[in-house]
Amino acid sequence: MCAEPLLAVLIGPGGVGKGTLARRLTEVDRRLWLSRSWTTRPRRGTETGDEYEFVDRATFERAIANHEFLEWAQFQGNLYGTPIPRTTGGADVLLEIEVQGAEQVRRQYHDAVVFLIVPPSIDHLEHRLRERGDTDEHVDRRLASTPDELRVGGALASYVIVNDDVERATAEILSILEKLRRERRSLA
């Protein structure tokens, strides 16, 4: 059991910087493998296309029917899902998902480590959301769902990380993962 890879999950409200943090974590720590999600959401103008596997709803629904997802959820009208990792080469797995998906992961993997990423302030979050080029309506919907995401996320989280600075938050998460790896090794 203890030799199994760690499963680390980043959750937190939209605009909090989970994506940037996830990418930075895998750049700094080569033992982390970042899962690439599927979504039916249209690509944003600011995205390159690597962020997700962008698919249509019929393709996504076929994958659900074929049990191809570790978890999936509908979030603000779009479907998002984590394909079952085929191979991670022994690396620890990192997911960056919303809270309904994290609840599913927790039910299947009780020892998944869930990090709730929170903004230094709500003003900061609003600024980040508006910067991404989403419509005002979309930003307002995301902000309206923030209290719920924080409440449900807080109940699920193993650790709460304030994303006041990407490098600092990355270092904090990596030091927790390192501690957990040491604990696993000593139990093995």
Which residues of this protein are in contact with ligand 5GP, per CB under 6 A? 14, 18, 37, 41, 71, 73, 75, 80-82, 96-98, 100-101
Q: Cβ 92 to ligand 5GP, closest distance in Å?
A: 17
Nearer to ligand 5GP, 92 or 134 (CB): 134
Contacting residues for 39 by C-beta, under 8 A, at least 6 apart: 52, 53, 54, 55, 60, 78, 79, 80, 81
Residue 68 or 184 with smaller CB distance to ligand 5GP: 68
**Can you tell me which residue has the tokens 């938050």?**
169
b vs e for 50-74, b when ≥16 Cβ sit within 10 Å of the residue's Cβ? ebbeebeeeebeebeeeeebbbbbe
Instruction: Report the C-alpha gap between 181 and 4 in whole angstroms.
Output: 10
The least distance separating ligand 5GP from the CB of residue 26, rounded to whole angstroms, comes to: 15
Q: Which is nearer to ligand 5GP, 14 or 119 (CB)?
A: 14
Smallest distance, ligand 5GP to C-beta of residue 117, A: 10
CB of 105 to ligand 5GP, least distance (A): 9
Q: Please give the backbone phi and psi of residue 108, each rounded to the nearest 5 degrees, phi first.
A: -85, -35
* Six token digits for residue 46: 């600011």
Per DSSP, 6 falls in state P
Minimum distance between the CB of residue 94 and ligand 5GP, rounded to whole angstroms? Answer: 12
- Which CB, 151 or 185, lies closer to ligand 5GP? 151
Nearer to ligand 5GP, 1 or 86 (CB): 86
Q: Closest residue to ligand 5GP, Cβ-based?
A: 101
